[in-house]
Amino acid sequence: MRLVEKLEKQPNAVLAFSDMEFIDLKGDHEIQAYTDLDGIEHRIRRGHRMLQRRGPWGIPYRGIFRAAALEQIGGLRTNLAGEFAADWPWLVHMSLLGEFVRVPEVLYRKIQREESVSQMWKHAARRYWQRGPWWNPLAATLACANEIYRSRLFLVEKMLLHISLASTFLRWTWHRSWIRLKRIMLRRR
């Protein structure tokens, strides 16, 4: 009910979400809050922040959203790597439509279990790695590029977001390359 109230009070908002309590496989509890979009009214800045995927960026996906926004975007789409990060392009597009508003209290609890979809997905996603270590990140990045293209932004705005997306992909792949290089170097010792 609090999320609905928050959406009703903010006509420019398309999505309302809360903080999340995360309980991992060991039973450890952690309160997570996604604050990167708090107070950002400009759609390009929101899109840029969502493209950066910093912090617990997936929390807004567990909120509620306006039906009109969903009609405009459509549902989640698989990408070239199947369902890998399918929520990311969807949230990027949603962030271009309107503001995200956060209710700063825990209204959502995620409990990780061995049989959870997210745990099962991790095992199923490995088959896509057979195409190379960059396949999953590239597939998710291309899906985001497609959502930016599909949006109703001006061409210049789309170009700015594509540049931001390219930098995110390069940062992501650099980080993964560095980790792999460190592992190789440790094995040689």
Pair of tokens at residue 144: 């985001």
| Whether residue 121 has pLDDT greater than 70 | no
Quote the pTM value.
0.88
Q: Which of 16-25, 90-99, 128-137 has the lowest mean pLDDT?
A: 128-137
For residue 180, the model assigns a pLDDT of 78
What is d(CA 147, CA 94) in angstroms, rounded to the nearest whole number? 9
What is d(CA 40, CA 46) in angstroms, rounded to the nearest whole number? 6
For residue 127, the model assigns a pLDDT of 54
DSSP per residue, 29-42: EEEE---TTTT---
Domain boundaries, the chain: 2-188
What is d(CA 81, CA 86) in angstroms, rounded to the nearest whole number? 9
Residue with token string 């199947």: 82
